[in-house]
Amino acid sequence: MTDPTPKRYTIAILGGTGNEGPGLARRWALAGHTIIIGSRSAEKAERVASEINQRLGAPVSDHSAVQGMANADAATAGDLTVLTVPYEAQNALLESLADVLQGKILIDVTVALKPPKVARVFIPPEGSASEQAQALLGDGVTVVAGFQNVSADLLEGDGPVACDVLVCGDNREAKRIAIGLAEDLGTRGIDAGPLENAKAVEAFTSVLIGINIRYKVHGSGLRITGLPTLER
């Protein structure tokens, strides 16, 4: 049964000034979560947070819906963390934050893309960016893969997010939280199995990029058919 009073979190979006971060931040703030945008530069994070708050109509104060901090400070302050950096930046950032992230959930939105051929599937030795993150951080951090197939264009818009979110992980409660966050975006979260399945979910991002290019669209996504009504 759906919880009538779902929990609200302080969510640190690491690398949150890029393509996906601002859209996720705004929609989760609208759902009632407290958001911290993380960046290498605290000043850049604060600027992006201010822009999101202006769009939300939030008062300019230390208690605005979205705040900006350096990545390390954001990770420390967050109840859970969401990683939205490019693949080539993932390992260095996680290595620098490994101690801070211990005991927390990390939702990894990163996709293993290998420029310039980002429309071709690239499989790293660990299988996926999320599995790579788990191997690097160790068992003290619970890594969940999700939101890789959601277009930044859809997130930036005001309409519904017309695609499903496939969530992979080895911890049932962590996946439940990620699925709830998908619903807070205005879409449907689906349990897609263990973390090792993230390689298939990540790979589909390259497929969708190719579809966007060939059909000259910006927001192709995935829908899973044949499911009954899902509950948290």
Q: CA 215 to CA 217: how far, in whole Å?
A: 6
Residues 6+ apart with CB under 8 A from 133: 83, 90, 94, 106, 108, 110, 143
One-letter identity of residue 53: N
Say if residue 14's pLDDT is above 90. Answer: yes
pLDDT digits (tens, 9 = 90+) for 47-81: 999 999 999 997 666 567 899 999 999 999 999 99
Beta-bridge partner residues of 105 = 142
Say if residue 196's pLDDT is above 70. Answer: yes
Q: CA 12 to CA 100: how far, in whole Å?
A: 12
Residues 6+ apart with CB under 8 A from 35: 10, 11, 13, 25, 28, 29, 49, 52, 65, 66, 67
- pTM comes to 0.94
Integer-rounded Cα radius of gyration of the chain = 16
Q: CA 102 to CA 87: how far, in whole Å?
A: 21
For the 10-215 domain, the top CATH level (class) is alpha beta
Q: What is the mean pLDDT of the chain?
A: 94
- Domain regions of the chain by residue span: 10-215
Q: CA 166 to CA 105: how far, in whole Å?
A: 17
Beta-bridge partner residues of 34 = 10
pLDDT of residue 1: 40
Tell me the H-state helices in the chain: 21-30, 42-56, 71-77, 87-101, 129-137, 152-156, 172-184, 198-215
pLDDT of residue 60: 63
